[in-house]
Structure 1
Amino acid sequence: MSKIIYLVRHCQAEGQKFDADLTPKGIEQSLLLSEYFLNKNIDMIISSPYKRAIKSATPFAQTISKEIIKDERLSERVLSSKDHSNWLEMLEDSFTELDLCYPGGESSKQAMNRGITVIEDVLTCSSNHIMLVTHGNLMALMIKHFQPSFGFKQWHQLSNPDVYSLVFEDNIPKIQRIWID
């Protein structure tokens, strides 16, 4: 039997901080996300502990009466501890040079490896349809792990929310964007 992992980028939020809430549009999106997943037989929901990720999954979790398991490994990637006006260029460089690490930040490789450990863990659990709610940069890096051509351009094209399915058979995923925004 195949195992399906749904990588979900959170809905539209008011900012990047840990406690940033969903915007009114983000709240509407979380309801659409809930409807979208109703027929997917989700038997486990794991989320970044960030408020915007939890709130993106909450309507669905309540509808199917499932607990949202918080996992720090799905947290937002910190590019640098300081704000930089050229952060977009810095991020683009980090997709090319995976070991590039800015002061106070995490390299793409470090973030990717952190996220992939969640996938490795759920591949060995008894659940077969798992929702992982995370953030755009980490989601892109997790996809890049399995599909190296996935890069900055594809990250830039992600929407809020966004959903990719990873269908695993023999530990090799078939990756597909399934969210239509």
Structure 2
Amino acid sequence: MQTNVYLVRHAHSTFTPDELGRPLSVQGLIDADRINSFLEKEDIDVVIASQYKRAVQTVEGIAQRIGKEVIIENGFKERKLAENPVDDFDSAISKVWQNPSFSWEGGESNIEAQKRGISATFKILNRYEGKNIAVGTHGNIMVLIMNYLDKKYDFHFWKSLDMPDIYKLTFNKAILHDVTRIWSREGHRKNERGYQK
């Protein structure tokens, strides 16, 4: 039975030190409305998001349109890079991707974050088999999940993501069969297949 997971990287947010409560920017809200209009045509059955406000805000529109609640799943929250803000984000994020077992003080390694993200993914595949599932999540954890399934989704792939962005992952049980980029910030249907089996 085919299950489709739509990994939705959140729209642009207004930076605040409050990682959990950081809201979408004006542009982010506009883009979120556009992707929710798009997702409505995909016959979404279930809407899930990390607990971060920007992830919830990105997909709550499709939940409202189909008359469902957004289900919070902590496993899809963004990877914690470090306990405190890092001086050089680019260098810090590069290092954790170069060495998957390395973590900055108080942060998650790629391996730790990936384990959390893929556990959440397999949980929803089991719980909502045969459904179309929209997941509001974040760029790094999204790519770590995809990387577990196919190593070509790597650091360079993460850097190429739009904000927001949508990749549709098609599974038979827990086996990945297809990955398609179906939306980008320009608002055009992409249908860029990155994986086929």
TM bin, normalised by shorter chain, reads over 0.9
Paired residue type of 1:11: A
SS in 2 for 1:178: strand
The alignment's C-alpha RMSD in Å is 1.3
Deviations 1:121-158 (A, max 9, x none): 11112451111111111111111111112111111111
State yes or no: 1:179 paired with 2:183.
Answer: yes
Q: Assess, with a 3 A threshold, how the Cα gap between structure 1 residues 37 and 105 changes in structure 2: closer, same or farther.
A: same
Alignment match, 1:142: 145
Q: How far did 1:170 drift? A: 4.8
* 1: CA distance, partners of 2:147 / 2:15: 25
Q: Counterparts in 2 of 1:85-96, with a 5 A limit?
A: 85-96=87-98
Deviation larger for 66-75 or 78-87? 78-87
Alignment match, 1:77: 79
Partners of 2:3 and 2:173 within 8 A in 1: no
SS in 1 for 2:183: coil
SS in 2 for 1:131: strand
Paired residue type of 2:58: S
SS in 2 for 1:160: coil
Alignment match, 1:163: 166
Q: How far did 1:88 drift? A: 1.1
Q: Assess, with a 3 A threshold, how the Cα gap between structure 1 residues 170 and 48 changes in structure 2: closer, same or farther.
A: closer
* 1: CA distance, partners of 2:119 / 2:81: 20
Deviations 1:61-110 (A, max 9, x none): 11111110011111121111122222212211212211111100000111
Give the structure-2-normalised TM-score: 0.87
Alignment match, 1:3: 3
Deviation larger for 31-40 or 15-24? 15-24
Paired residue type of 1:33: I
Deviations 1:28-71 (A, max 9, x none): 01110111101211111110111111111111111111110011
Alignment match, 1:124: 126
SS in 1 for 2:48: strand
Q: How far did 1:166 drift? A: 0.7
Alignment match, 2:194: none
Q: Counterparts in 2 of 1:18-167, with a 5 A limit?
A: 18-127=20-129, 128-167=131-170
* 1: CA distance, partners of 2:167 / 2:142: 9
Q: Assess, with a 3 A threshold, how the Cα gap between structure 1 residues 72 and 170 changes in structure 2: closer, same or farther.
A: closer
Paired residue type of 1:147: D
Give the structure-1-normalised TM-score: 0.95
Deviation larger for 14-23 or 28-37? 14-23
